[in-house]
Structure 1
């Protein structure tokens, strides 16, 4: 694993583990997938509540990374698995760690 401070919005390859205050994300930029593991974080101190989101623990189509930088909420543009015409933002709690694993 290689620690990084951000995933560049123009990244075209790479697999990243992104740890936020409440969850862990596996992001494959080349395959364009995002997987969220809610409640899997070593950084849950404070009053952070873990939200349940549709398709948690499943790969969902990643359209783009708008922002993913340590200290800020991650912002990901995704589409619905069952209807690609439906698009939405996934905005995380503050990012505390990013590791490039591939």
Structure 2
């Protein structure tokens, strides 16, 4: 589960560099609206899009991260079941459906 730890370390990292970007009035209005809809500050929104465009990391808001964490938990459960099946087959015994967890 490296993704959440990596996210924490990025959040914990102090951002010391500043990038100045010029927008037209209608452009910044669009950016502010999109950031609000994504549940992010304008700074976090622009940073996320920039890093996504550079191929560094995907654009994810808090809801996306929660869904990702649920998917990771489901994958762990499936992996546990697969390990149980592999152990049973390697030990030449059958696995009942009720023996599987998850």
Give TM-score, length-normalised by structure 1: 0.20
Which protein has the bigger helix share? 2
Task: Name which one, 1 or 2, has greater alpha-carbon Rg.
Answer: 2
Of structures 1 and 2, the one with the larger relative CO (CA 8 A, separation 6+) is: 1
**Higher relative strand content:** 1
